[in-house]
Each structure stands twice: as C-alpha cells, then as structure tokens.
C-alpha cells in the first residue's frame, strides 16, 4: 500500500518565505520536525517547492554566476559527483534540482570525461625528449619550467597509480584506480582519492593526506600531442 502524501499545504507560505530568505532546505526540514512534528525528507520539501512554482528553472540557473562559480568549485576543487554537488547546493540555499544541475553543467562545459589509462592514444604522442629511457624518471627542461618539484625534499616510499593529465584542461580526463580521478584545478593537477589529494603544483610536488604534506618521489615525464598542442604529464 503506497504511503500517504505528506500535506505541506498549510505551511506553504512559511516554507516559501524561508526559502526567499535563503534558509537552507535542511534547516526547513528541521523546523518542520521540531515546530510542527512533521517528519519529511529534504527531497520532499524541494519537490513541493517546485510544484508550487518556487525554485530555479533552467533559464534562471543559466544566468546565475554565483551558482556557476560554486558548481565549478564543488566539481573541480572538491571532486564531488553530481548527487553530492546537488545536496551541497541545496543546503547552501540554491534552488536547483538534478535535471537543472545537469543542464547548467553541460551548458558551461563542465564535463566528466574519463579515458581509461590503458587506452590513451599513444600513437598520436611523441616524447619531448628524444631519449625515451632518460625521460621515464626525470623531467625535460621544458617541463621543469612549468612544474618544478622541490629539490630539497627526500623521496618517500608511496604507492602511486599511473596518472595521465592534460596541461590546460578543465575537465576530468582520466581514471587512476577505482576511487581516484584526475582533475585540473586552477594551476595544479590533482588526483582525488579516498586517502588524500596528489597535487602537482608550480613549485612543488606533494601528496596531501589527512591534512599533512608528505614529499613523494619526483617521478614523471611529459609527452607532446602535436595534433592538439597539449602536454601530457605522466606520473609513474
């Protein structure tokens, strides 16, 4: 037997007023519970708001630059998936649903392409150094200008996956294991995983785990794709 639909009609005006005041949906859910004894899921309140015509539509969301900036940060800096991003945005007071989120993400070009590392188009790439063996564990002079690991740090033994990222990209481009993925954030490449973030920054090469910075071996090489004029950075 289907569960009866929760009647939020008597509280419509108050709920809408709270949303206009940018009160997070989660806070509204708590208020309904503690003030009126109504236990309701966050998604139920959100769906009622849309039924009442209160909320973001595709047109509004497409022009909301604050939403765009927050979406970009949650996707590329925090590495969240769509459901996690949606939950975070709703808690922060944005009126958005899953369909609108996907629409805005595609409209802005925030794509989630993942290329299996074993299927990289190697035949289209040539190494920046003529001696392939010498670049396996060292950087080329050109690469060192843009990404120069600190020379004073002693290498540590850390198990690293093979990571392939494309210089200048703003998209997720490759996977590195079951729970890690390569993302481009501002001026660094980062690998999000369950244990931390591997960052290749302009001045250093560090592994961030549990709020600590631990030096890792500076082992990477570069490949140049002449068809796309992009540089591949390969961690080994």
How far, in Å, CA of 22 to CA of 16, rounded?
Answer: 10
Contact 82, 35 (CB under 8 A): no
pLDDT value, residue 33: 92
pLDDT averaged per 10 residues, the chain (length 236): 77 87 86 92 82 64 84 88 90 83 84 45 36 37 36 34 38 38 38 42 32 36 48 43
The DSSP result for 121-164, as a single string, is -GGGEEESSS-TGGGSSS--HHHHHH----TTSPP-------EE
How far, in Å, CA of 85 to CA of 138, rounded?
Answer: 38
pLDDT value, residue 199: 41
pLDDT value, residue 99: 80
How far, in Å, CA of 76 to CA of 182, rounded?
Answer: 10
pLDDT value, residue 53: 66
How far, in Å, CA of 81 to CA of 75, rounded?
Answer: 7
Helices 25-36 and 82-91: angle between axes, nearest 10 degrees:
60
b/e burial code for range 198-215 (CB count within 10 A of at least 16 → b): bbbbeebbbbeeeeeeeb
> Looking at residue 11, what DSSP letter applies?
G
pLDDT value, residue 49: 80
**Which structure tokens are listed for 186?**
């501002």
pLDDT value, residue 23: 84
pLDDT value, residue 169: 38
**Which structure tokens are listed for 202?**
């302009």
How far, in Å, CA of 30 to CA of 81, rounded?
Answer: 25
């Amino acid at each position: 037997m289907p569960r009866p639909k929760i009647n939020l009609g008597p509280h419509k005006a108050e709920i809408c007023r709270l949303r206009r005041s940018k009160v997070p949906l989660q806070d509204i859910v708590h208020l309904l519970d503690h003030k009126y004894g109504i236990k309701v899921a966050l998604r139920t309140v959100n769906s009622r708001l849309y039924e009442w015509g209160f909320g973001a539509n595709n047109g509004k969301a497409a022009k909301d630059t604050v939403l765009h900036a927050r979406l970009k940060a949650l996707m590329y800096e925090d590495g969240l998936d769509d459901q996690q991003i949606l939950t975070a945005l709703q808690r922060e007071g944005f009126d958005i649903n899953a369909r609108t989120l996907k629409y805005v993400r595609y409209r802005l070009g925030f794509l989630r392409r993942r290329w299996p590392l074993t299927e990289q188009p190697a035949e289209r790439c040539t190494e920046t150094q003529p001696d392939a063996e010498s670049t396996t564990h060292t950087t080329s002079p050109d690469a060192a200008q843009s990404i120069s690991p600190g020379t004073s740090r002693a290498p540590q033994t850390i198990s690293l996956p093979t990571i392939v990222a494309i210089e200048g990209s703003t998209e997720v481009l490759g996977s590195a294991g079951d729970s890690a993925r390569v993302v481009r954030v501002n001026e660094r490449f980062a690998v999000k995983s369950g244990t931390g973030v591997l960052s290749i920054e302009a001045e250093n090469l560090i592994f961030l785990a549990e709020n600590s910075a631990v030096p890792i071996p500076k082992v990477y090489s570069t490949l140049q794709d002449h068809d796309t004029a992009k540089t591949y950075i390969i961690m080994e």
